[in-house]
């Protein structure tokens, strides 16, 4: 999932780079960047991805903290076969708002308070409690490496309820919105 297109100009200006420099990095014309930032043109998915990757890379070069500095290594996990009732009880007991869903060692989704509330508005509450998580979970959250610069995390957490952190391709931590507040301390 990419950040919103209308955030490109703000991110570029925050990094203090010109439209021309961004255009060169992305491999498009300065005019194209101008049209995208002004809303006159919608970039292809690939172009948008390149823009955000380059902005994240530039932002990362100015960051001293890494994702591993902020993640919680105590990950609460559930299985796709657990029920929504299991998830709600665990969230309430531990005062957490999302839980990653793992099938063996593979991440397959996430269940969040927001996702549960969405389903409550649509489905019968009694039936919903007994629903398997595989039926109601949201898609896999963003996954970043332990060494990912911390300032790359803020745009990701804005659009996702959590971020998973890996070391050597193994999920070892989770970052939530409240964890990103630690960056401001």
pLDDT over threshold 70, residue 82: yes
**CA 74, CA 57: separation in Å to the nearest integer?**
28
What average pLDDT score do residues 38-46 get?
92
- Write out pLDDT tens, residues 133-166: 998 899 998 999 998 877 778 778 777 878 999 9
DSSP 8-state code for residue 108 = E
What average pLDDT score do residues 108-126 get?
78
The CATH superfamily label for domain 5-61 reads lambda repressor-like DNA-binding domains (1.10.260.40)
Q: Decide: helix, strand or coil at residue 166.
A: strand
**CA 134, CA 136: separation in Å to the nearest integer?**
6
The CATH superfamily label for domain 67-184 reads CBS-domain (3.10.580.10)
In terms of Cα–Cα distance, which of 153, 140, 148, 141 is closest to 184?
153
Q: What is the pLDDT of residue 176?
A: 86
């Amino acid at each position: 999932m990419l950040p919103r297109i209308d955030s490109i100009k703000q991110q570029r200006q925050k990094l203090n780079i010109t439209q021309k420099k961004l255009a060169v990095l992305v491999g498009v014309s300065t005019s194209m960047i101008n049209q995208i930032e002004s809303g006159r043109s919608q970039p292809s998915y690939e172009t948008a991805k390149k823009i955000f990757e380059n902005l994240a890379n530039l932002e990362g070069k100015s960051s001293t903290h890494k994702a591993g500095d902020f993640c919680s290594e105590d990950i609460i996990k559930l299985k796709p076969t657990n029920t929504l009732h299991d998830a709600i009880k665990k969230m309430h007991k531990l005062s957490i708002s999302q839980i990653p869903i793992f099938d063996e060692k593979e991440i397959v989704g996430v269940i969040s308070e927001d996702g549960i509330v969405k389903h409550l508005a649509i489905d019968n509450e009694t039936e919903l409690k007994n629903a398997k998580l595989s039926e109601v979970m949201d898609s896999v959250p963003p996954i970043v490496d332990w060494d990912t610069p911390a300032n790359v995390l803020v745009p990701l957490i804005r659009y996702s309820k959590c971020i998973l952190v890996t070391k050597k391709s193994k999920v070892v931590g989770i970052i939530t919105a409240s964890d990103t507040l630690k960056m401001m301390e």
